[in-house]
Amino acid sequence: MKVRTGLAAAAFVAISSLAGPSLAADECAGKPSDNRLTVSVTGVRPAQGEVAITLYPDDAKRFLAPKGKLLRQRVPAKSPTTSTCFYLPAAGVYAIAVYHDVNADHDFNRSLVGMPTEGYGFSNDAPTKISLPAFSTVRFRVPAGTSRTTLRMRYP
């Protein structure tokens, strides 16, 4: 069974700490600004397909909702770490969701019983044992200037 990436059941992300390699400015998504967030996703396996990294604004109604994203990058999966960056409109509160689209079909694939079959995670390493995390558990503050964060990919 497949679920579109914009649906609430489609995205999972975990942010654990600030770190990651720098990227060239032309690799960043969004309108160039003085605020830039580099996101590194660790534990990516295998190095095939792509990693979809989605940035959400500080709005619980938009988190994981169709057309709710602020920005998304789909980057080739690199093992063990895949990185990308985003220009941010301002310092503030955001949330990130990632999944490893191993077959590059732009869908977050799930089993017949609805369980994920591809890697996923949420900001702040929010728990996802039986349901999607609450927005309050995934939101995080990004200071002005250049920031980095590292996310850990989880696999079923």
pLDDT tens digits along 115-138: 899 999 999 888 787 788 899 999
Distances (CA, A) of 25 to 5, 10, 11, 36: 26, 29, 26, 9
More confident residue, 13 or 136: 136
Largest CA distance in the chain: 45
Would you give the distance in Å from CA 80 to the centre of its chain? 16
pLDDT digit string, tens, across residues 67-90: 999 999 999 999 999 999 999 999
pLDDT digit string, tens, across residues 90-111: 999 999 999 999 999 999 999 9
How much is the pLDDT for 131?
A: 82
Please say if the pLDDT value at position 3 is more than 50. Answer: no
How much is the pLDDT for 26?
A: 56
Domain range holding 32?
2-152
Strands (E), 18-145: 28-29, 35-42, 50-57, 71-76, 81-88, 92-101, 107-109, 120-122, 140-142
How much is the pLDDT for 50?
A: 97
Would you give the distance in Å from CA 88 to the centre of its chain? 15
Please say if the pLDDT value at position 10 is more than 70. Answer: no
pLDDT digit string, tens, across residues 21-47: 444 445 899 999 999 999 999 999 999
More confident residue, 17 or 47: 47
Domain count, the chain: 1
Full-model pTM: 0.81
